[in-house]
Amino acid sequence: MTELRIAIVGFGKIARDQHVGAIAAVPGAALAAIASRNASLPGLPHFATIEELLEKGPPIDAVSLCTPPQVRRAQAAAALAAGKHVMLEKPPGIGVAELDPLVAMAAEAKRTLFATWHSRHAPAVEPARQWLAERRIKSVHVSWKEDVRVWHPGQGWIWEPGGLGVFDPGINALSILTKILPKPVFVTAAELAFPANCQAPIAANLTLTDIDGLAVTAEFDFRQTGPQSWDILVDTDQGRMTLSSGGARLEVDGKVLAEAPDEEYRGLYRRFVELAATGASDVDLTPLRLVADAFLLGRRTVVEPFVD
């Protein structure tokens, strides 16, 4: 098998913690270079920018963009123009419409554009989808609450326009929700809490439904201390399903049906290798559309300033 030679662009916490190990563990993938202004990896060619990487770097087939979403569109366009396959960390961009030209570029160049949703690859997500497919769903509640100081320390970009604030983790929940429910959902109301010194929300409450009127609520909060919660609760005609730990554990009425170690990013890279073999793309923007609608419909309140 010919290896897919991948360069990581943007070498922050998520790239170091997840992407490097996942690439090393996936057959057919190989890490060939790093492009980052602030960090490098011993033993690998390093470049300050994607432009320098594409001009002066070693032979590569693909780039994995782990930079803040505000700059990914231009980076993806540069990579596609250079004939490279492109993986986009989530969220894939700062808006929905900016992805359309990239999809067209990828198709014209016969290169892969992969908008990733890592939480969909959590081990209990597919079992949850299968279990719900055979039940009548009565209601759904999402509780996605974490401490931003633990998970995003010093990452000021997350509070800027396009950084999404609490929707950066919240979109993970929406990516799972739109995977496991049998019918599409849409936002009907939202309440967004903005720190007085930030351009993105620190907390959000959403009301959603589907064409049949299913009751769906979601609570996102970046101010959680103590135990963190990444849970989706679904009441059905055959019991309560709980998908917890970000999709790693599935229970029905307290009985564990599925649980396994985290291999989300390995799943992403297996999919990337598979797509790149034929130049196919995978760009599902449904979770991003729901976030965009939450901003469109949201009632905004101002809360105390955020200090990292």
Known catalytic residues are 90
Concatenating the DSSP letter of every residue in 164-176 gives: -TTHHHHHHHHHH
Q: Is 230:151 a contact under the CB 8 Å cutoff?
A: no
Per-residue tokens: 174: 């929406």
User: Alpha-carbon distance 181 to 132, whole Å?
Assistant: 7
Q: Which amino acid is at 111?
A: R
Q: Alpha helices of the chain — where are they, by DSSP H?
A: 13-14, 20-25, 50-56, 72-81, 99-109, 125-133, 148-151, 167-180, 264-276, 286-297
* Of 17, 266, 241, nearest in space to 136 by CA: 241
* Of 80, 56, 57, 64, nearest in space to 29 by CA: 64
Q: Could you identify the residue written with the tokens 């990581």? A: 8
CB atoms within 10 A of CB 225: 10
User: Alpha-carbon distance 69 to 65, whole Å?
Assistant: 9
